[in-house]
């Protein structure tokens, strides 16, 4: 399943793992114990720009790992207040974006994709030779014609992309576990960009990391979010629930057979043991139906996924994100959309169902 080797003249261990017949290189937390991590960054100031989902989680994890972290956000905004509540101190560890970028040897750009484009003219002059520019999503560099972000030639540019929300990155770290992440190098001006990417991945709470490219990370991430991870799941949940309701099933029955059983019983089994274990653990009737209908759903959805991938590849999805999230009314528009989602019957029923779980009755 896995092989360890050290390149000639190096004491670094490299682990290759067989993923269903394809050998891939992975990097693990065990290769970077805390003393080694702290030693690698002992003379570095790491500036985390942005304090949203990933910014707060990655900065707190790296701070808890003993690294010298500062945060850069817009003064007196929501993120500034949130950073204050997490113990960041103005003038010591909390600065405006320009000042933090100037101070940082490593600049972690964790602003939203739309905000990255807007703030780039402020950040770029402070990215002087020898610094490291870090991203957790490669969109800004893969589509420069839309974002207008092109890093200076004399800085390292790396990516560490956690495979989960900031909330999960933080919670798994606090539990002593770790998030899976992908890593990539866009530009290596110092000769140490790859080592820095791996070390930063461990610093922000990764358990293990696999290699990718900026482009592949963007394409797979955007397809996943719009597809099986969120968009497709939301659509399929709604479709099945509405069908059951239209055929006379009660709200509680429709929700339990659509969402509650999936999230509370079946998905955890897939996560822990795999789909084949779930299929083997369910009733013979459920197993037969799942095996018969899975290829039907695959054939039905493949054209949708193909259309989605093309829209990601040609940049139209990215332009939609930048246009929508770059509006002055972004927060108000999003609030209306989320409130409308919450008003749908399926999710109002879900609130009641969750309240009836035994652990919520205490």
CB proximity list for 49: less than 8 A, separation 6 or greater: 55, 71, 72, 73, 97, 100, 101, 107, 108, 109, 110, 111, 119, 123
pLDDT at 77: 85
Which residues carry out catalysis?
137
User: Are 203 and 65 within 8 A, CB to CB?
Assistant: yes
pLDDT at 9: 40
pLDDT at 255: 96
Distance CA 103, CA 124 (A): 13
Question: β-strands 179-187, 156-162: how paired?
Answer: antiparallel
| Beta-bridge partners for 28 | 208
pLDDT at 92: 97
pLDDT at 2: 55
Instruction: Show the low-confidence residues of the chain (pLDDT under 70).
Output: 1-14
What is the reported pTM? 0.87
pLDDT at 348: 96
Distance CA 343, CA 341 (A): 5
């Amino acid at each position: 399943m896995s092989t360890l080797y050290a390149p000639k003249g190096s004491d670094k261990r490299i682990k290759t793992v067989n993923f269903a017949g394809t050998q891939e290189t992975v990097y693990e937390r065990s290769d970077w114990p805390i003393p080694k991590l702290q030693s690698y960054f002992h003379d570095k100031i790491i500036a985390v720009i942005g304090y949203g989902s990933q910014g707060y989680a990655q900065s707190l994890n790296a701070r808890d790992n003993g690294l010298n972290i500062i945060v850069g956000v817009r003064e007196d905004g929501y993120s500034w207040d949130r950073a204050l509540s997490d113990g960041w101190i103005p003038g010591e560890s909390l600065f405006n974006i320009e000042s933090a970028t100037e101070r940082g040897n490593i600049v972690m750009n964790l602003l939203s994709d739309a905000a990255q484009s807007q703030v780039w003219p402020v950040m770029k002059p402070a990215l002087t030779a020898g610094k490291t520019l870090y991203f957790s999503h490669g969109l800004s560099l893969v589509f420069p014609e839309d974002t207008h972000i092109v890093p200076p030639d004399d800085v390292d540019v790396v990516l560490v992309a956690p495979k989960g929300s900031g909330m999960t990155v933080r919670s798994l770290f606090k539990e002593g576990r770790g998030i899976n992440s992908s890593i990539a190098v866009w530009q290596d001006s110092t000769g140490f960009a790859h080592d820095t990417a791996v070390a930063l991945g461990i610093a922000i709470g990764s358990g293990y990391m696999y290699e990718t490219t900026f482009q592949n990370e963007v394409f797979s991430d955007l397809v996943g979010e719009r597809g099986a991870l969120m968009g497709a799941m939301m659509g399929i949940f709604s479709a099945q629930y509405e069908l059951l309701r239209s055929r006379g099933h009660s709200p509680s029955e429709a929700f339990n057979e659509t969402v509650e059983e999936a999230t509370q019983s079946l998905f955890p089994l897939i996560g822990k043991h795999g789909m084949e274990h779930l299929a083997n653990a369910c009733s013979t009737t459920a197993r037969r139906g799942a095996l018969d209908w899975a290829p039907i759903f695959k054939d039905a959805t493949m054209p949708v996924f193909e259309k989605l991938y093309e829209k990601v590849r040609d940049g139209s999805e990215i332009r939609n994100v930048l246009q929508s999230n770059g509006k002055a009314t972004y927060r108000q528009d999003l609030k209306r959309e989320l409130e409308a989602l919450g008003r749908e019957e399926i999710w109002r029923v879900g609130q009641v169902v969750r309240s009836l779980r035994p652990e919520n009755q205490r």
